Homo-oligomer: A and B are copies of this chain.
Amino acid sequence: MDSRNQRILDCIIEQYIDTAEPIGSRAISKQLDLSLSAATIRNVMADLTEMGLLCQPHTSAGRIPTDLAYRYYVQKTVALLAQQPQKVDPQEASYTDEFARRYQRLEDVLQDAADELTASTHCTGLALGPRPSTSKLKRVELIGISQTQVLVVLVTQAGLVKNRIISFRECPNQEDLNKIAQILVDHFVGLGIGEIQESLLETLAAEAQELSAHAIRIGKKALELDATGEVFISGSANLCQYPEFSDHLNLQKVYQRIEDKGQLYQMMDELTQTEGLHIQIGDENQKFGLQSCSVLASTYGSHDNLLGSIGVIGPTRINYPRVIQAINRSSRKLSWAVGHFLSPDR
């Protein structure tokens, strides 16, 4: 595909992203400063259609981009942005102040990240809490709160605090609980909770002779984790305004998917197995029932410790350049936050 065709395709895509209306050859001919007649554009469009990059809602309508075209466009956009000198975020210097002023809890930071994504993309912003399985343990507390219940408080190095109540027929006294907690911390601090679980039983059994089998069971139960972490959503109401969701059944389907936090977490988790930006367009989301959407997601955390992910859900004609930049910016900021602000001992 030569560069002229590319320019025409780009123009159609960008126009369509803007207007959501099929684009005709005359409009392109005028818009583009290639001084080509509409007829020539038509020939090119026919070629692009044959290549599966454009399609027509009906015979005498203009063209609209296919998922494939968006895929091409995204590739191009990403390449372009990578080339650009990565200008350091000028606000970065003020991060410390901002965070100190506004945030105490990781949860707030995440909700705010989602809100920021929403504000700058007019779509639905997502921010996922750290993956439970790879979160690194920092602190364990076991607190007996009744005859049969123990409150488990786990603090991870990213600053996430998880608590859960576990029940037993009979639970040890506080002293023993403290002992168990201490052993857990001594052995496992700094390790991923997923790893811990694998080797937990042996370690405990081998090294903690002083404890009863009962206590070991408690320790094991304390480190069981929810399969999914938390999901923070923002701006789901924005989806209503897009004409592609004017079909109510379609809209309802999308909302059903967004509402199921577990599924949403799983989707984002699968999407962001490796560092950096990941984009799924239209039909590529079939598995998650979001065929009419595009999902853009990226990770946050340091290179060797990918904590969680953030993302944006919108129509397939989402403004990719803008969203990609917004996500990258948020990802950097979040990574900074968990690296500097919320780190164990700053």
Contact = CB atoms under 8 A, between A and B. Distances in A.
A151 B151 contact: no
A17 interface: no
B237 A259 contact: yes
Contacts of A225: none
A105 B248 contact: no
Interface stretch (A67-75, A80-88, A162-170): A162-170
Contact of A165 (B105, B143, B233, B240): B105
Interface string A217-251: 00000000000000001111110110000101101
B240 A248 contact: yes
A336 interface: no
A345 interface: yes
Interface in A243-270: 246, 248-249, 251-253, 255-256, 258-259
A207 to B, nearest CB: 24
B139 A143 contact: yes
Interface in A140-176: 141, 143, 145-148, 151, 153, 155, 159, 161, 163-167
A344 interface: yes
Contacts of A233: 259
A256 B234 CA distance: 10
Nearest to A257: B237
A182 to B, nearest CB: 12
- How many copies of this protein are present in the complex? 2
A104 interface: yes
A287 to B, nearest CB: 19
A138 interface: yes
A167 B104 contact: yes
Interface string A182-212: 0000000000000000000000000000000
Interface residues of A, number: 41
B141 A143 contact: yes
Given A236-B255, A252-B241, A159 B153 contact: no
B240 A259 contact: no
A237 B289 CA distance: 14
Contacts of A161: 151, 163, 165
A138 to B, nearest CB: 7
Contacts of A138: 145
Contacts of A235: 259
Contact of A252 (B153, B159, B240): B240
Nearest to A242: B248
Given A104-B166, A240-B255, A246-B248, A345 B147 contact: yes
Contacts of A346: 146, 148
* Interface core residue of A138, A249, A259, A346 (most chain B CB under 10 Å): A259
Interface of A: 104-105, 138-139, 141, 143, 145-148, 151, 153, 155, 159, 161, 163-167, 233-238, 240-241, 246, 248-249, 251-253, 255-256, 258-259, 344-346
> What are the 3 A-B residue pairs with the smallest beta carbon separation, nearest first?
A237-B255, A240-B252, A237-B256
6 contacts: A105-B164, A105-B165, A148-B346, A237-B259, A240-B255, A241-B252
